[in-house]
């Protein structure tokens, strides 16, 4: 599953969950293959994000796990304070779990 800005939504993508407007009105159900008309309607009702199945778009701010871990190592380079090293360890654990959950979600949606 991937939560995308509306500008990244393309016809043919499938909704992972219902699409609702700011007032909570359901505009589209779960598992619906989107069309240009759906996307236009979402724009008209002020929808800014849609959650779709899979991971169809590589967003500019998304990074692979290896890149994230490399940056983490670089940020903590030379640090010897035990408290900060514990924060680094916890953050590394978080990144790995996030990546594993993402991979699991992708496999389930296929």
Q: What is the CATH number of domain 2-52?
A: 3.90.105.10
Arithmetic mean of pLDDT over the chain: 91
pTM for this predicted structure: 0.60
In the chain, domain spans? 2-52, 65-109
Tell me: the pLDDT tens digits for 25-59? 999 999 999 999 999 999 999 999 999 998 788 77
* DSSP character string of the chain: -EEEEGGG--TT-BBSS-EE-TT--EEE-TTPBP-HHHHHHHHHTT--EEEESS-----TT---HHHHHHHHHHHTTT---HHHHHHHHHHHHHHHHHHHHHHHHHHHH-
């Amino acid at each position: 599953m991937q939560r995308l800005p509306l500008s990244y939504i393309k016809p043919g993508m499938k909704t992972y969950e219902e699409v609702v407007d700011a007032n909570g009105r359901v505009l589209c159900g779960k598992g619906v293959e989107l069309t240009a008309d759906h996307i236009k309607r979402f724009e008209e009702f002020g929808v800014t994000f849609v959650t779709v199945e899979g991971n169809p778009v590589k967003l500019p701010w998304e990074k692979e796990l290896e890149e994230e871990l490399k940056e983490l190592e670089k940020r903590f380079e030379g640090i010897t304070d035990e408290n900060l090293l514990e924060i680094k360890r916890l953050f590394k654990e978080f990144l790995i779990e996030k990546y594993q959950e993402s991979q699991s979600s992708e496999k389930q949606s296929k």
